[in-house]
Amino acid sequence: MTFLVLKGSFELGIIYAIMALGVFISFRTLNIPDLSVDGSFVLGAAVSVVMSSGGRPLLGLLIAFIAGCGAGSITALLHTKLKIQPLLAGILTMLALYSLNLKVMGGRANIPLINKATVFSVLEKTALGNYSKLILSLAILLLMLFFLYLFLNTRLGFVLRATGDNDHMVRALGVNTDFVILMGLAISNGLVALSGALIAQSQSYVDIGMGIGMVIIGLASVIIGEVIFGTKSLLRRLIAVVLGAILYRLIIAFALEIGMPSTDLKLVSAVIVALAMAMPVIKKRLSLVKRKLAVTNHEGRQKG
Interacting span for other proteins (CB under 8 A) from 88-96, 158-166, 184-192, 250-258? 158-166
Nearest-approach distance from CB 9 to other proteins, in angstroms: 32
23 CB contacts (<8 Å, ≥6 apart)? 34, 37, 188, 192, 215, 218, 219, 221, 222
The window from 61-69, 127-135, 159-167, 204-212 that contacts other proteins (CB under 8 A) reads: 159-167
**Cβ 61 vs Cβ 198: under 8 Å:** yes
Residues 68-97 that bind other proteins (CB under 8 A): none
- Give the nearest distance from C-beta 181 to other proteins in angstroms: 12
Dihedral sign computed on CA atoms, order 249, 110, 75, 159: positive
Geometric angle at alpha carbon 40, from 207 and 11, rounded to 5°? 65
Nearest residue to 28 via CA among 239, 254, 168, 188? 188
Stretch that binds other proteins, among 58-66, 149-157, 195-203, 291-299 (CB under 8 A): 149-157
String of contacts with other proteins for each residue 162-181, x by CB under 8 A: x-xxx-xxxxxxxxxx----
- Residue 165 Cβ, how far from other proteins at the closest point, in Å? 4
Say if CB 199 and CB 49 are below 8 A apart: no
For residues 171 and 278, what is the distance between their CA atoms, to the nearest angstrom?
A: 32
Please give the C-alpha separations between residue 182 and each of 69, 72, 131, in angstroms, as whole numbers.
Answer: 9, 7, 37
Burial status of residue 55 (CB atoms within 10 A of its CB: 0-12, 13-18, 19 or more): exposed
235 counts as binding other proteins under rule CB under 8 A:
no
Residue placing its CB nearer to other proteins in the complex, 12 or 159 = 159
Range in contact with other proteins (rule: CB under 8 A) among 12-20, 72-80, 161-169, 250-258:
161-169
Number of residues that bind other proteins (CB under 8 A): 23
Report the residue number, 172 or 258, with the smaller CB distance to other proteins: 172
155 counts as binding other proteins under rule CB under 8 A: yes
Angle at 11 between CA 9 and CA 15, to 5 degrees: 115
Task: Give the integer Cα–Cα distance in Å for 185 and 180.
Answer: 9
The residue from 85, 153, 296, 297 that contacts other proteins (CB under 8 A) is 153
Q: How far is the CB of 150 from other proteins (least distance, A)?
A: 9
Site string for other proteins, 175-214 (x = CB under 8 A): xxx-------------------------------------
Among 158, 278, 292, 296, binds other proteins (CB under 8 A): 158
Give the count of beta carbons closer than 10 Å to the beta carbon of residue 277.
Answer: 12
* H-state helical runs in 24-131: 37-53, 57-80, 86-104, 119-124
Binding site for other proteins (CB under 8 A): 151, 153-159, 161-162, 164-166, 168-177
